[in-house]
Amino acid sequence: MTSTVATPVAALDQLNLAFAERFNARDLDGLMALNAPDVVFVPAPGQPVQGESAVRGALEQFLGLALPITMTVRHVFRSGDTGLAIADWSITGTAPDGSDVALAGTTADVAVFDEQHGWRYAVDNPFGTA
């Protein structure tokens, strides 16, 4: 597995697509690089986690499904170095334990931009308003 850590996301409409690419490559370090330092990740509706180890652990659980994610960007809105990205996603198939997986949602992600790191998640909220 090749890490994409050094590749910053230059356009806001590419952030969710970069997430999907790194997710499908099982690139946990690459996924973590898409996060701003104090990112809030919401792996289940109403259950935010913060801090590198908590976010890494939550992402590892999703990667543990060993299924690809599909992502379709619906809208992006930008005000200076802050953005809102909205995308539809799904993870479906059979998990390694044989259970059926049917996860889907519409993100409502807040992103921040800086020249060195590109666009990164400040709030990664995959279930949006759920």
CB atoms near residue 111 (< 10 Å) = 24
What pTM, to 2 d.p., does this model score?
A: 0.93
CB atoms near residue 110 (< 10 Å) = 16
Using DSSP, state whether 7 is helix, strand or coil: coil
C-alpha span between 43 and 46 (Å, rounded): 9
> pLDDT-based confidence at 129, cuts 50/70/90?
confident
Q: How many CA atoms lie within 13 A of 104 on its CB side?
A: 7
CB atoms near residue 95 (< 10 Å) = 13
User: In the prediction, which pLDDT does 7 show?
Assistant: 85
pLDDT (tens digit per residue) in 58-92: 999 999 999 999 999 999 999 999 999 999 999 99
For the cut 70, the answer to whether the pLDDT of residue 124 exceeds it is yes
C-alpha span between 61 and 5 (Å, rounded): 20
pLDDT (tens digit per residue) in 105-123: 999 999 999 999 999 999 9
- Select from 121, 125, 55, 60 the least CA-distant residue to 89: 125
Domains of the chain: 12-124 (3.10.450.50)
